[in-house]
Structure 1
Amino acid sequence: MAIEPGTKAPDFRLRNQHGQTLTLADHRGGKNVVLLFYPFAFSGVCTGELCALRDALPSFVNDDVQLLAVSCDSPFTLRVFSEQEGFEYPLLSDFWPHGEVSRAYGVFDEEKGCAVRGTFIIDREGVIRWTVVNGLPDARDLNDYVTALRAL
């Protein structure tokens, strides 16, 4: 079960598609974070969701907000995916220990070995303020994220 709004967001250390280590704490006190978990790079629904974010990037990467997208794919896979689709935001690898961060947020599907579609809006103090979790085949509505960010 996904962690609920009002809960302190678990910190993490993950490598992005360029091999750099990022933490959630890097943004504490500075920016709100849209933390988006997705199942697999290159899959149809995931590619569609991440491209929609790319196309609306100013709403999700700006002076107030940072988008962080997490999957259990390897950093090497994420680099090729990012280059192919022109993503200019961090794709974080929860590859090893496999799914550790996805489990901490309650969005890891043990049977499939990947994250489900979970999104967490985290405020500058590191508290989860809004969340939505969809099953593997169900895309999320980006307008919901924008509405949740405006409420902060």
Structure 2
Amino acid sequence: MAIEVGTQAPEFTLKDQHGQAVSLSDFKGDKNVVLLFYPFAFTGVCTGELCALRDELPKFVNDEVQLLAVSNDSPFSLRVFAEQEGLEYPLLSDFWPHGEASRAYGVFDEEKGCALRGTFVIDKQGTVRWTVVNGLPDARDLNEYVKALDAL
């Protein structure tokens, strides 16, 4: 079960596509966070979702908001994926310990070994304010993220 609205967001530190450590606490008190879990880089639905975010990036990376996209891929795979697709926001690797952050948020599929499509809008105090979890084949609606951010 995914963590619920009103819950304090679990802390994590993961490496991005450049090998830099990124922690949720880096943004506490400063920015709201859109935390997006996705199954795998280089797959159809994931690529479509992440490119749609790229195309609307000012809504998700600005003075008030930081987008963090998390998959169970290695940082090396994420670097190639980001370069290939022109993704300039943090792609975080939940590769090792495998799925630790995904499990903390309740979106790790043990059978498939990857994250489900879970999104969490976290306010500046670190509280989850909105969430949606879709099955592996089901893309999410970015307009719902915008509405959730506008409500903060």
- Taking structure 1 as the reference length, the TM-score comes to 1.00
* SS of corresponding position for 1:58: helix
* Cα distance in 2, alignment partners of residues 13 and 61 from structure 1: 19
After TM superposition, what 4+ stretches of structure 1 lie above 2 angstroms from structure 2? none
Aligned position for 1:46: 46
* Cα distance in 1, alignment partners of residues 87 and 62 from structure 2: 15
Q: Which amino acid aligns with 1:33?
A: V
Aligned position for 2:64: 64
Structure 1, unmatched stretches of 5+, are none
* SS of corresponding position for 2:2: coil
Shift of 1:43: 0.2
Aligned position for 2:85: 85
Shift of 1:81: 0.1
Shift of 1:29: 0.2
Q: Which amino acid aligns with 2:83?
A: E
* Cα distance in 2, alignment partners of residues 112 and 76 from structure 1: 21
| CA deviation string 1:65-100 (max 9, x = no partner) | 000000000000000000000001000000000000
Shift of 1:63: 0.2
Aligned position for 1:76: 76
Aligned position for 1:24: 24
| Correspondences of 1:132-147 after superposition (within 5 Å) | 132-147=132-147
- Taking structure 2 as the reference length, the TM-score comes to 1.00
* Cα distance in 2, alignment partners of residues 73 and 40 from structure 1: 6
Query: How many pairs does the alignment contain?
Result: 152
